[in-house]
Chain A
């Protein structure tokens, strides 16, 4: 065995790869059981609780955290913030992988997954919100694929097709923003049909607005968080432009996140006042609501503000973790924790071990795909043949 081969075999046996390998094996085993023995063999879902963490986390959280794609491309291509240009490709890639694995995870949750395209080819359920969400996600996944394609085409060396894909940037960005506005809000609107099941502190006629506004916070915070982690693990594949734009990007997105969080907190208070639910704040669910709204909305808003004013990038990066955790908590509260809140505990939904395994499996697949792509394609650096061509 040559020295190079030895080095390669050593690097493959890292703690990360070992843990990822174990998760992949466990995930594949549960996948086989799920698709051969049915949903009931691996999930705790029931008629009371037809949506578990595969919807609450994999879909609701996945779509929210993938919002960085439309937020960043809109900032750069529509609002003209060219100084954040180097963040577009990583953000689009994160969004594309996020949405792709949302659709993959959705196949696990559907009793008959082969019927996934039925709404588009068998019957157009145009009065259904789920139809609108499905159509938007399908179209937006296509848009994200096309937005991501220039990087893949540069890597593959297809220069003519790359040129054509580059011309579509503005049109695709506009499509992306329109489609994201529609389905991010519609995911919240799905719960408008269940006012008696969702706790009054989380149920509000403004749920679509909450979901859309918080998705902007999720997108901004995820770009900061993903940039921080990428900076640590993929520093070697970043060029001077990316490294130079990294700190101003953290500061700029931190400022935007602080402002949007302030607006989000305000509309949360408006919803609370409109429902006149102040008396519920002293109940156990009320205290949990306060943990979410104060601990994961108001405090991140203040920390972002302090970080931006003091030019404290470490604080902004720390706050992005808190804000992302807040979005995860909010989506889980709406779809799982505060859903069916009135039922006795024995009837409540608690995810099974296998459901958790599949969720961790999906997150691991996203991370591994991200690593595979950024170590090969021009994501954190410009391809030498296409400098300044996008």
Chain B
């Protein structure tokens, strides 16, 4: 684990990862929804 000497370092590190996850999750959830509903027009078996 990295050692953080200041609160600034710690927040910069952790918040950066949070923003990366959030940035990826927005298109990710959208694509997941399209994948989930991709076969909706087909009838029930």
Residues of A within 8 A of B (CB): 247-248, 251, 255, 258-259, 262-263, 266, 269-270, 273-276, 278-279, 305, 308-311
Residue with the greatest number of chain A CB neighbours at <10 A, chosen from B17, B29, B33: B17
How many B residues touch the partner, as a band? 20 to 34
- Cβ of B36 < 8 Å from any Cβ of A? yes
With A269-B21, A270-B22, A276-B10 known as contacts, the answer to whether A308 contacts B44 (CB < 8 A) is no
Q: Number of residue pairs across A and B with beta carbons under 8 Å?
A: 49
A308–B36 alpha-carbon span in the complex (Å): 7
Residues of A within 8 A of B33 (CB): 259
Residues of A within 8 A of B38 (CB): 309
Let me know if A273 and B32 touch, CB within 8 A. no
A18–B28 alpha-carbon span in the complex (Å): 51
A311–B38 alpha-carbon span in the complex (Å): 12
With A279-B1, A305-B36 known as contacts, the answer to whether A270 contacts B45 (CB < 8 A) is no
| Secondary structure dominating the interface of B | helix
A309–B36 alpha-carbon span in the complex (Å): 6
19 further A-B contacts with Cβ under 8 Å, apart from A273-B17, A311-B42, are A247-B44, A251-B44, A255-B36, A255-B37, A259-B32, A262-B32, A263-B29, A266-B25, A266-B29, A269-B21, A270-B18, A270-B25, A273-B21, A274-B14, A276-B10, A278-B1, A279-B1, A308-B36, A311-B45
Let me know if B13 and A276 touch, CB within 8 A. yes
A279–B1 alpha-carbon span in the complex (Å): 6
Let me know if A275 and B14 touch, CB within 8 A. yes
A276–B14 alpha-carbon span in the complex (Å): 6
Closest-by-CB residue of A relative to B20 is A273
Residues of B within 8 A of A251 (CB): 44
Residues of B within 8 A of A310 (CB): 39
A140 to chain B, nearest CB (A): 30
B8 to chain A, nearest CB (A): 14
Closest-by-CB residue of B relative to A276 is B14
Residues of B within 8 A of A270 (CB): 18, 21-22, 25
A270–B1 alpha-carbon span in the complex (Å): 18
